[in-house]
Amino acid sequence: MAASGKLGAFRLPPLPTIREIIKLFRLRAMKQLSQNFLLDLRLTDKIVRKAGSLTGAYVYEVGPGPGGITRSILNADVAQLLVVEKDTRFIPGLQMLSDAAPGKLRIVHGDVLTYKVEKAFPESLRRHWQDDPPNVHIIGNLPFSVSTPLIIKWLEHVSCRDGPFVYGRTPMTLTFQKEVAERLTATTGSKQRSRLSIMAQYLCDVEHVFTIPGRAFVPKPEVDVGVVRFIPLVQPKIEQPFQLVEKVVQHVFQFRRKYCHRGLGMLFPEAQRLESTGRLLCLADVDPTLRPRQLSIAHFRSLCEVYRRMCDSDPQLFAYSFREELKQNKQKRRREGDDSESGVP
Ligand code: SAM
């Protein structure tokens, strides 16, 4: 099956296969850059179908490499496809695709971590946040070392409704190491429940749409790959600043096997830790003996709300870092030790 009947009316003309493109342009995958290519167009078509209807869409593909997913996107009858690729070796192969789809493919040699897509598409595409998602989509199979920091960055953009989300609730279909895909979508109580689960799910509808076995990639990575679809929620499940949510969530999960009060306690200076942690848990109505993975998003919402009120009434609190306090205590002890050795009373 070259492509499903659901894909659109525009078809690319016959082209060399991705394998031939790789040979033609000597695109040996660079292990240090974690380059693993998808050559099977049935799989790239499947990723693109999972992104939803792309007819007339403006699509941003991150890390196109030799262009497998790029071809499937072009065959989905999009209005425009913008690709951002860091490695110059791939540009001539992508140029060949651009010639085969006149006026549809824009190629940028750049870094997706800094590229400003909010300036790339027409302003007329913008939708109100409460409306259906805009006809703008993000799709990509990036190295795992890039996809995780990128999704954290984009989640923060979702919370501020800027970056790729100036267009509205732009959907994203991205690949991750399968274990990371499982963490992103893990439900309350499951073994994979982690910081990423909360950060993604309080802002987006997140679905692990399918898994691609590692053997489908060239060269074969050590792990399988999960395709995850994100659609920003109209109403975030926690309505607090991203950094505040991130701080609470990170503190809870730093002792993943202990009771949740243990990590939460570290939000407070040692001198007030016991009393403030008790107050936080009591006002948020959270059982201190729940383990981090047993906390639901609703638990995190109340914890964040109460912590926010505590920060509002104590302006020093949000900046408090227990690691910093530990460091300072250590330095103080060292100084006191030095002083007693030097005979200073
Ligand atoms: N999407 C292609 C596929 O599925 O066959 C290539 C996948 S390969 C895992 C990742 C691609 O992302 C490579 O082409 C790599 O050069 C590119 N890449 C890696 N980091 C990037 C970054 N920060 N910005 C843009 N492209 C990047």
pLDDT tops 90 at residue 69: yes
Least confident of 22-31, 286-295, 316-325: 22-31
Q: Indicate the Cα dihedral angle 283, 287, 288, 290, nearest 10°.
A: -140
Q: Does residue 63 have its Cβ closer than 6 Å to ligand 1?
A: yes
Please tell me the predicted confidence (pLDDT) of residue 10: 85
Which residues are CB-neighbours of 286 under 8 A, at least 6 positions away? Answer: 260, 295, 299, 302, 303
**140 CA to centre of ligand 1 in angstroms:** 8
Please tell me the predicted confidence (pLDDT) of residue 1: 36
> What is the percent of the chain where pLDDT is above 70?
95
**68 CA to centre of ligand 1 in angstroms:** 11
Query: How far is it, in rounded angstroms, from Cα 22 to Cα 39?
Result: 10
Mutate to test the pocket of ligand 1, among 35, 47, 91 (most ligand atoms within 8 A of CB): 35
Residue nearest to atom 5 of ligand 1 (CA): 37
Q: Does residue 112 have its Cβ closer than 6 Å to ligand 1?
A: yes
Tens of pLDDT, residue by residue over 99-131, are: 999 999 999 999 999 999 999 999 999 999 999
The pLDDT confidence band at residue 88, using thresholds 50, 70 and 90, is very high
Please tell me the predicted confidence (pLDDT) of residue 25: 76
Q: Which atom of ligand 1 is nearest to the CA of 65?
A: 14
Per CATH, the number for 242-326 is 1.10.8.100
Q: Which atom of ligand 1 is nearest to the CA of 150?
A: 23
Please tell me the predicted confidence (pLDDT) of residue 5: 43
Mean of the per-residue pLDDT values of the chain? 93
**314 CA to centre of ligand 1 in angstroms:** 45
The pLDDT confidence band at residue 3, using thresholds 50, 70 and 90, is very low
Query: How far is it, in rounded angstroms, from Cα 283 to Cα 66?
Result: 54
Q: Does residue 120 have its Cβ closer than 6 Å to ligand 1?
A: no
* CATH 1.10.8.100 domain range(s) in the chain: 242-326
Q: Does residue 90 have its Cβ closer than 6 Å to ligand 1?
A: yes
The pLDDT confidence band at residue 32, using thresholds 50, 70 and 90, is low
Tens of pLDDT, residue by residue over 299-316, are: 999 999 999 999 999 999
**94 CA to centre of ligand 1 in angstroms:** 13
The pLDDT confidence band at residue 4, using thresholds 50, 70 and 90, is very low
Q: Does residue 67 have its Cβ closer than 6 Å to ligand 1?
A: no
The pLDDT confidence band at residue 27, using thresholds 50, 70 and 90, is confident
Per CATH, the number for 2-232 is 3.40.50.150
Q: Does residue 65 have its Cβ closer than 6 Å to ligand 1?
A: yes
Q: Does residue 18 have its Cβ closer than 6 Å to ligand 1?
A: no
**125 CA to centre of ligand 1 in angstroms:** 26
Query: How far is it, in rounded angstroms, from Cα 130 to Cα 169?
Result: 8
Q: Which atom of ligand 1 is nearest to the CA of 64?
A: 1
Residue nearest to atom 23 of ligand 1 (CA): 111
DSSP H or E stretch at residue 252:
helix 242-253
Q: Indicate the Cα dihedral angle 187, 192, 193, 199, nearest 10°.
A: -100
What does residue 71 show for φ and ψ, rounded to 5 degrees?
-60, -45
Please tell me the predicted confidence (pLDDT) of residue 292: 98
**142 CA to centre of ligand 1 in angstroms:** 5
Q: Indicate the Cα dihedral angle 70, 74, 79, 80, nearest 10°.
A: 30
CA atoms within 13 A on the CB side of 21: 23
* CATH 3.40.50.150 domain range(s) in the chain: 2-232
b/e sequence 50-89, b meaning 16+ C-beta within 10 Å = ebbebeebbbbbbbbbbbbbbbbbbbbbbbbbbbbbbeee
Residue nearest to atom 14 of ligand 1 (CA): 65
> What is the percent of the chain where pLDDT is above 90?
83
Residue nearest to atom 12 of ligand 1 (CA): 63
pLDDT tops 70 at residue 144: yes
Please tell me the predicted confidence (pLDDT) of residue 340: 66
**173 CA to centre of ligand 1 in angstroms:** 15
**108 CA to centre of ligand 1 in angstroms:** 13
Tens of pLDDT, residue by residue over 252-280, are: 999 999 999 999 999 999 999 999 999 99
**79 CA to centre of ligand 1 in angstroms:** 23
Query: How far is it, in rounded angstroms, from Cα 132 to Cα 126?
Result: 11
Q: What is the mean pLDDT of residues 223-242?
A: 98
pLDDT tops 80 at residue 55: yes
Q: What is the mean pLDDT of residues 170-190?
A: 98
Query: How far is it, in rounded angstroms, from Cα 228 to Cα 150?
Result: 14
Please tell me the predicted confidence (pLDDT) of residue 341: 62
Q: What is the largest CA-CA distance in the chain?
A: 87
On whether the CB atoms of residues 39 and 212 are closer than 8 A, the answer is: no
pLDDT tops 70 at residue 289: yes
**145 CA to centre of ligand 1 in angstroms:** 11
What does residue 284 show for φ and ψ, rounded to 5 degrees?
-85, -10
